[in-house]
Amino acid sequence: MERHGDVLPRGDLAEGFTLDGRRVPFLGPQGIFKPAVMSVPLSMATVPSGPYDDGFDDSGVLHYRYRGTDPFHRDNAGLRFAMQEQLPLIYFHRVVKGRYVAAWPVFIVGDDPARFTFQVQVDDAQHTGLDSAEPRMLVHDDAAPARRQYVTSLVRRRLHQRTFRERVLAAYQRVCAFCRFRHEELLEAAHITPDADPLGEPVVSNGLSLCRLHHGAFDRHFLGVRPDHRIVVRGDLLEEVDGPTLVGIQSLHGQRIELPRRAADRPSGERLERRYEEFLRQARRAS
């Protein structure tokens, strides 16, 4: 994460780390992964739209599917043992092909053989002792259930945000749709219909890949996008005289935005129209 942020390439995770001269990957080809050097699983992974319907519920619990339908399969037995001993694991959620968000420590908190699922929650490493450089016993306190519910809800929201960002940036070939800036560290996924709006779904057709400057300008209605994909700069900004940053913004006026190659990923015309109407209302107030 120090190298990549919290969206991690699968190659680095598969390479893993070295322990006593042996390579230990963080994840494997299957969802439940036990490295050869361990007697219990190290991690579990979810691939959205994959063969297993893992998902969060409103109570702050991740329902994680068994490996297959045999409750006594060695992978399922391994997670069950981790539940009994309250051993920490790592949870990997694939946001786009080859890129994962990690959450840890996670704990198995329930087992439902009738539905072939485990219940999983995320905890705070500070409260479990796992953030300490000195190994010590895990701390399990009476506040753990409420804390885990809260932390899991935060992780769920983070996963949604990262998934939206990664899918939008991938659709736009990781460039700013306004200025073609290519440095991913400064690219963000902007909502066309705001996230707080009931219609602000985290789907690619509701997103634009924008650098931080143009994301801020778009959110604050300094810039608008017409339904024909042309950029409009607010009138009062076009009349201002300032430094090179303002000149760069003014130069976008009338330019066509960069569009995804796949038609299904392109901005929704209906969303752009509603957003542009709001831009015009804000522009009239500023004039």
> 2 in a domain, yes or no?
no
For residues 134 and 87, membership in a common domain is answered with yes
For residues 135 and 63, membership in a common domain is answered with yes
Mean pLDDT of the chain: 91
Q: What is the pLDDT of residues 224-234, one digit of tens each?
A: 999 999 999 99
User: Of the candidates 168, 190, 220, which is a domain's last residue?
Assistant: 168
- Report whether the peptide linkage leading into residue 105 is cis, meaning its omega lies within 30 degrees of zero: yes
In this structure, what CATH number is given to the domain that contains residue 39?
2.30.280
Domains identified in the chain, total number? 2
For residues 138 and 13, membership in a common domain is answered with yes
For residues 24 and 159, membership in a common domain is answered with yes
> 240 in a domain, yes or no?
yes
pLDDT of residue 79: 96
For residues 127 and 161, membership in a common domain is answered with yes
Separation of alpha carbons 100 and 166, rounded Å: 10
> 1 in a domain, yes or no?
no
Residue 175's SS3 state is coil
Number of Cβ within 10 Å of residue 116's Cβ equals: 17
Give the residues across from 63 on adjacent strands.
55, 119
Provide the whole-model pTM: 0.80
For residues 34 and 141, membership in a common domain is answered with yes
Residues 109/61, Cβ–Cβ less than 8 Å = yes
Phi, psi of 208 (to 5 degrees): -135, 135
Separation of alpha carbons 114 and 281, rounded Å: 55
User: Of the candidates 117, 143, 168, which is a domain's last residue?
Assistant: 168
User: Of the candidates 101, 136, 168, which is a domain's last residue?
Assistant: 168
Domain that holds residue 190: 175-286
What would the DSSP string read from start to end of 206-222? GEEEEEHHHHHHHHTTS
pLDDT of residue 54: 75
Q: What is the pLDDT of residues 97-150, one digit of tens each?
A: 999 999 999 999 999 999 999 999 999 888 776 666 665 556 567 788 889 999
Q: What is the pLDDT of residues 10-55, one digit of tens each?
A: 999 999 999 999 999 999 988 999 999 999 999 999 987 655 567 8
Residue 41: burial class (beta carbons within 10 Å; 0-12, 13-18, 19+): buried
Local confidence band at 195 (pLDDT 50, 70, 90 cut-offs): confident
